[in-house]
Structures are given as structure tokens and as C-alpha cells.
Amino acid sequence: MELNTSAKALIPLQRDQDTLVAFNVGFGLSSNLNKWAIRPEIGFLYNPNSESKGHYMHLSIGFTYRFDAIGKR
């Protein structure tokens, strides 16, 4: 098992939009992380400039599989 964390700022290209802040936590679950993994993740997105204290939450799941290089013996 592995733990992955990330933090990011989403900076808008237009001046009338707010910068958003996000935090994510994910896991790699596998019997062999060098070959494959199931990757559940949860994240929270905030607008620090907003008067409301709300946030958006997302849940996702991914799958990673490592293919050996073509022609490798």
C-alpha cells in the first residue's frame, strides 16, 4: 500500500474569477505496486475568497498497470 497526497492552487486566466485551492489524498492498493495498483482518491476544493465556508468534495478510483517495454527481453 502507498499513500499519495497533493495540494494545488488553481489560478484562473480571467481576472473576474477567484483562485481555488485543492487538497487530495489517494492510496495505491496492490500486492505488487511495481506492476499494478487500484487507486482510490478523495479530494476537497475550496474558494478561500468566498464568504461561504462550503467546499466541493470528489471521490474517484483509478487503475494503474505497467506494461514492459516493447522489445525488452
User: Structural domain boundaries of the chain?
Assistant: 2-65
Would you give per-residue pLDDT tens digits along the chain (73 residues)? 999 999 999 999 988 888 999 999 999 999 999 899 999 999 999 998 887 777 899 999 999 998 875 555 5
Q: What is the pLDDT of residue 61?
A: 96
Q: What is the pLDDT of residue 49?
A: 82
Q: What is the pLDDT of residue 57?
A: 94
Residue 71 CB-half CA count within 13 A: 0
How far apart, in whole angstroms, are the C-alpha atoms of residue 34 and residue 46?
A: 34
Q: What is the pLDDT of residue 71?
A: 55
Burial of 63 per CB tally in 10 Å (0-12, 13-18, 19+): exposed
